[in-house]
């Protein structure tokens, strides 16, 4: 699932991530604003899948 999410995020949408994943934290809240449409939820799920580290 993570490979599919990365393909969609980086290749199809052409977006990139800036910054560093906070791997030293057990839990954190990422706040994304502004919320302009219902697509924000789907993009949030996609970003969570891209950032997911194992």
8-state DSSP, 19: S
Q: What is the CA radius of gyration of the chain?
A: 12
Q: Which residues contact 22 (CB under 8 A, 6 or more apart)?
A: 28
- Using CA atoms, how far apart are residues 52 and 48, in angstroms rounded to an integer? 6
Per-residue pLDDT tens digits for 4-51: 888 888 888 888 877 777 778 888 787 766 677 888 888 888 888 887
Q: Which residues contact 21 (CB under 8 A, 6 or more apart)?
A: 51, 53
- Name the residue ranges covered by the structural domains of the chain: 2-51
Say what the pTM is. Answer: 0.55
């Amino acid at each position: 699932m993570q490979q599919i999410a990365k393909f969609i995020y980086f290749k199809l949408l052409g977006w990139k991530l800036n910054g560093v994943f906070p791997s030293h934290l057990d839990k954190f809240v990422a706040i994304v604003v502004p919320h302009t449409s219902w697509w924000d939820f789907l993009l949030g799920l996609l970003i969570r899948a891209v950032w997911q580290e194992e």
